[in-house]
Structure 1
Amino acid sequence: MRSGKCLPVIFVLAGIMMLVQLVNTFTANSLIPHGIIPRTISGLQGIAFAPFLHGSIRHLLSNLVPFVVLSWLISNEGFERYVRVLVLITMLGGILVWLVGRFSIHVGASGLIFGLWTYVLARAWFQRSLVSLLIAAIALFGYGGLIFGFLPLPGISFESHIAGAMAGIVVGWIMHSKRLLANAG
């Protein structure tokens, strides 16, 4: 595993999430308007900011552990690949929410988490290696309950969950389908 360079980055990102939440808590959620607001110019900034913004400490805590674990499961591909996966899922998932989400403010790392989760599963599908299948099994066993996040529930951006999951699959396809095609030819 080549996760040595990634772990500090993963913990720094988690630390930024915690720091942002502290500021947000002590400023009466003043940062929330910087989330994704679909189909508005000002809402575009949320594509980059939403994963770091959370509606409450409880919301943040529910996202921190899955973010760290799923990031670590991806980090075996190396630092550059991890950063690419993270950025692509964040951008693609955020754009999808901005395009089709309910008119509301969408915040939280859960869209990214769904993207990381489906990326791990898609990677296993495309790579078909023992290591990627074992990692996918760990992700599926540990976070299989995420499937219920696709259900529309009040106060939860299921659009972010669906968009993140779609982004994870697309990124998995972009990053790994070439290997599958090369092996077929």
Structure 2
Amino acid sequence: TAPLIHSDFNHLINNTITIFILIAGLVYFYRDLWYKILSLSWLLSGMMVWIAARASYHIGCSGIIYAIASFIFFSGVFRKNINLMAISLLVVFLYGGLVWGVLPIFPQISWEYHLFGGITGAILAFVYRRQGPPAQTWSWMSETADDAEETSEYWESEIFDESDKEKL
């Protein structure tokens, strides 16, 4: 139940805005899978904290935030999808020091929940790497057979001679 408990109103608002953006991105890109990712993020990160974290109060939904941000980012890396990585980096920018949250800098903050959430997201991204939005291909990255023919015809035209080709 840790994600449902927050220390104060400011903590609640910060987590609510961030998780709203992340869940919206998750639902948009993973319409058939988002509820599994959300549920497993909650369950697995919570279990890891329960098993391996220090004896302290671990409250807030930051672990789920880290899990979803990590899932979206690593899913973008595994799937070569720039849109997924961009959403995750936007959340990192808006949420502040998301990367610093996994380090034991402030003893009153559950860095373990953040760390285990990030690990959970990376694991889920790997497990579900074959599901979700397809990898992006750009027209300038791959040359089709038609493009290759046009290129060879262009170089074989009478516009250029051999010395022009060597200059280029």
Cross-structure match for 2:114: 161
TM-score (normalizing by structure 1): 0.64
The structure-2 alpha-carbon separation of the partners of 1:92 and 1:150, relative to structure 1 and needing over 3 Å to count, comes to same
Deviation at 1:71, TM superposition (A): 1.0
Q: 1: distance between equivalents of 2:101 and 2:89?
A: 19
For the 8 Å contact 1:110–1:160, the answer to whether it is kept is yes
Structure 2 residue 68 is matched with structure 1 residue 116: yes
CA contact (8 A) 2:74 2:85 kept: no
Between structures 1 and 2, the one with greater helix share: 1
What's the % identity of the aligned pairs? Answer: 28
Cα distance between partner residues in 1 of 2:125 and 2:33: 11
Could you say if the C-alpha distance between residues 56 and 172 of structure 1 is closer, same or farther in structure 2, counting changes exceeding 3 Å? same
TM-score (norm 2): 0.70
On the 8 A contact 2:45/2:117 being kept in 1, the answer is yes
What are the equivalent positions in structure 2 for 1:7-156 lying under 5 Å apart? 49-143=1-95, 145-152=97-104, 153-156=106-109
Following TM superposition, by how much is the alpha carbon of 1:145 offset from its aligned partner in structure 2, in angstroms?
2.4
Contact 1:124/1:136 (<8 A) preserved: no
Q: Does 1:175 align with 2:128?
A: yes
Alpha-carbon distance between aligned partners in 2 of 1:169 and 1:144, rounded to the nearest angstrom: 20
Query: Any stretches of 5+ residues in structure 2 without a counterpart?
Result: 133-168
Alignment-mate amino acid for residue 63 of structure 1: N
* Separation (CA, whole Å) in 2 of partners of 1:121 and 1:144: 16
Q: State the Cα distance separating 1:80 from its structure 2 match.
A: 3.5
Q: Quick one: distance in 1 between partners of 2:111 and 2:67?
A: 13
CA offset at residue 141 of structure 1? 4.2
4+ residue segments displaced more than 4 Å: none
Q: What is the letter of the counterpart of residue 116 of structure 2?
A: A
**CA shift digits 1:75-105 (9 cap, x unpaired):** 1134441111100111110111011111122
2:129 is paired with a residue whose SS is helix
